[in-house]
Amino acid sequence: MPATTAVKSFGNYINGEWVEEEKVFSSINPADRSDIVGQFQSSSEETAKKALDAARDAFRSWSNTSPSKRAAILTKAADLLDSRSKQIAEEITREVGKPIGASLNEVKRSAETLRYYAIEGVSYTGETFPNDDPNLRVYTVKEPLGVISVITPWNFPLSIPARKIAPALITGNTVVFKPSSDSPLVGFRMAEALHEAGLPKGVLNFVTGSSKAIGDILVTHPAVRGVTFTGSTGAGEQIHRSVSLTTRTQMELGGKNPLIVMEDADLDEAVNLTINGGFGLSGQACTGTSRVIVIKRVKEQFTNRLVQRTKELTVADGFTKGVFMGPLANERQLKNVLDYIKIGKSEGAELLCGGEHLTGTGYDDGYFVNPAVFTNVKPGMRIEQEEIFGPVICLIEAENYEEAVSIANNVEYGLSAAIVTNQVHYIERFLKEAEAGTVKSNRTTTGNLMNAPFGGIKKSSTSTFRESGRVGLEFFTQTKTVYYGH
């Protein structure tokens, strides 16, 4: 772990200036609660209003700025992130606990996302429509919405903001960005890079603080034309109900993602996919593998291999060499996971390994838990239905493909789903029949390309506008149809 220095205070960024409040809160290292990563502003509603007003006032000028100038700023910000990748990666690991290799990958991915939208944005345009009038030209133009509130979680504290802020800015919108209070420093680094890249004042505004204090104004202020949010389904539903008729929402919410293991699957590969999808990032990914539905004929073999591999995983501080899994992000997450371990046992599921709150040297000051595997999980159990958002895998037995896909679909979420098989007919059926926004064969439920659409169905999303890829620009624009006659 890098050496720490005196605790530093980081300001809000409003109308091109770094400003501070009277009250602050601390960001804590989840692997070592004695390590205070930084102090951040406990913003008031009045401060959030100032940020929104600044974004509204900057909109006209920014929307008239040429796409090439906007793209140049995004590209320069990407270069700044790359040049600071080691520092920012260490800060990600200190702030949210993920292994340093994953943190480095996140910085790289975020810089690539800024560059991707810098390129896509300059070619994003409308259509021209043939008509019978030789003196009439009919076409559409894509116009920015206005002020966008960007509200992001802690599990991907740089890459999720990047995939929301970049398309918002390149299409001419202005932004008020509120990161999670568990990862404000990483959000600060994104705002800092865009500021140093030459973003005009008011175009991006950065505010920290509790959702209780400033969350409502960020979605109900009259200037807000769009809210893009990633987080829990409960919070997303509340935002969706709160906005005005003319305010768009883009919600990426919870998941209870299944992986089906068929009788012909390569079981070692299936175990790898389960481990990486279910325990990577300590199970704290919305697309994480939560349910593994295994055909009865191979369940015992698969289970034995999975338990053996799970027991071999290294759980430690994210800076530890060879670590697979770091701590949970905060005390609330730890309590939630431990509560679900108790719930699973009380429901009659059998805990095969893990689920303990780790203590002792290297663990006492952090939120560490051993990855858990439950078997004899029945459809309808709470641990099978509810999002745990931690390193807990539920093994469910199925007689055949039909029963497996029925179990997979029988939840209120529909974010990601995968199948492990070598049979083409199983793959083709599953890709059609799985009720999820992302479906995969012989891959983990986690991970998505930056140039491909991402989003869920059912209660995993508002099912309106997808994130990522070229279609990720659509949420931030409205279509105007022009009839140009002469």
The residues annotated as belonging to the active site are 252, 286
Per DSSP, the chain holds a count of helices (H) and strands (E) of 14, 22
CA torsion sign for 386, 390, 393, 398 is positive
The two tokens of residue 336 are 């939630």
Q: How far apart, in whole angstroms, are the C-alpha atoms of residue 167 and residue 454?
A: 14
Contact yes or no for 470/113 (Cβ under 8 A)? no
At 379, is the secondary structure helix, strand, or coil?
coil
The two tokens of residue 475 are 């949420």
For residue 439, give the H/E element and its range: strand 438-441
Contact yes or no for 472/167 (Cβ under 8 A)? yes
CA torsion sign for 99, 100, 105, 108 is positive
Q: How much of the chain is helix, strand and coil, in % rounded to 5?
A: 40, 25, 35
Q: Burial of 42 by CB count in 10 Å (0-12 exposed, 13-18 middle, 19+ buried)?
A: middle
The two tokens of residue 183 are 């990862």
Dump the DSSP string for 3-63.
PP-S--EE-EEETTEEE--S-EEEEEETTEEEEEEEEEE---HHHHHHHHHHHHHHHHHHH
Length of the chain: 486
Contact yes or no for 413/458 (Cβ under 8 A)? yes
The two tokens of residue 175 are 């932004």
Q: How far apart, in whole angstroms, are the C-alpha atoms of residue 279 and residue 290?
A: 9
Q: How far apart, in whole angstroms, are the C-alpha atoms of residue 475 and residue 410?
A: 29
Running DSSP on this structure, what letter comes out for residue 446?
S
